[in-house]
Amino acid sequence: MIEVIRKKNKKKVAEEAAKIVLQEIKKKQNLVLGLATGRTMIPFYNALVKLKKNEKISFTNVRTFNLDEYVGLGEKDKKSFRHFMEEYFFSKVDLKKENINFLDGKTKNFKKECLRYENKIKKSGGIDLQILGIGRNRHIAFNEPGSSIKSRTRKVRLPEETRKVNFGSLKNAPKFALTVGISTILNSRKILLLAFGKEKKKAVQNSLQGKISSKMPASFLRLHKNVIFVVDETVMNN
């Protein structure tokens, strides 16, 4: 069963999610935190940075693993997820550089890189809290429709739809990405998905009530025991 927390607007969604993250860090200072990118995450990181300052909580022992990265893009590329994270979050908190984990989009050996990431997650004790957004086509991370429930970290081809949504047009949009798998995500102890706005309404409602199937990767979250969706009223309205 997925617990759904309804909030008035995106600001409240972001604040609620930030509160939940800080509660977990209070319980476990060296929390292993799975992080996501995307427009949804911008108000969330803003809220987390603000709340962290007010509550004077330290991130020094927190370890992070991001979900995905575009193939061919590195830290310095403005379009990379690594760059996004630096801009909205990493540069604003006291995380230790060595505790930040990312898939290397510039690797020459995809298999080896994906295996390294899986092993690093395992070695850290597994993800305690995974933050997720959701794609309009129900993808989670870059597990697009058709992804298996058994999928682990791997290289994937991005559908045109996702490339267009993320980059505005297909021109200059990377064709491939590295992403953790559905199975990697379901291994997390707790999962927190954020969604707001009418573009996400169908995706969220289908994931909560539709058939559990690889056609809607987010529907697999219903098989996990500890999932919270924090959403706004637009998403839940009929």
Please answer whether residues 46 and 20 qualify as being in contact, where contact means their C-beta atoms are separated by less than 8 angstroms.
Answer: no
Between CA 207 and CA 216 the distance in angstroms is 7
Say whether 137 is catalytic.
Answer: yes
User: Judged by CB, which is closer to ligand GLP: 102, or 142?
Assistant: 142
The three-point CA angle 121-221-184 to 5° equals 20
Greatest alpha-carbon span in the chain: 47
User: Judged by CB, which is closer to ligand GLP: 57, or 139?
Assistant: 139
Say whether 224 is catalytic.
Answer: no
Q: List for the chain the helix, strand, coil content (%; round to 5).
A: 40, 20, 40
Say whether 160 is catalytic.
Answer: no
CB of 204 to ligand GLP, least distance (A): 12
CB of 55 to ligand GLP, least distance (A): 25
- Distances in Å between the Cα of 156 and the Cα atoms of 6, 102, 227 are 33, 16, 25
User: Judged by CB, which is closer to ligand GLP: 37, or 207?
Assistant: 37
- DSSP label at residue 130: E
Q: Which of 128, 139, 143, 232 is catalytic?
A: 139
Q: Which residues bind ligand GLP (CB under 6 A)?
A: 36-40, 67-68, 133-135, 141-142, 162, 166
Say whether 68 is catalytic.
Answer: yes
- Distances in Å between the Cα of 230 and the Cα atoms of 9, 147, 192, 198, 214 are 10, 24, 7, 14, 23
User: Judged by CB, which is closer to ligand GLP: 56, or 78?
Assistant: 78
CB of 15 to ligand GLP, least distance (A): 17
Between CA 152 and CA 183 the distance in angstroms is 6
Q: Which of 15, 16, 66, 68 is catalytic?
A: 68
CB of 101 to ligand GLP, least distance (A): 16
Q: Which of 99, 137, 187, 206 is catalytic?
A: 137
Q: Which residues are catalytic?
A: 68, 137, 139, 144
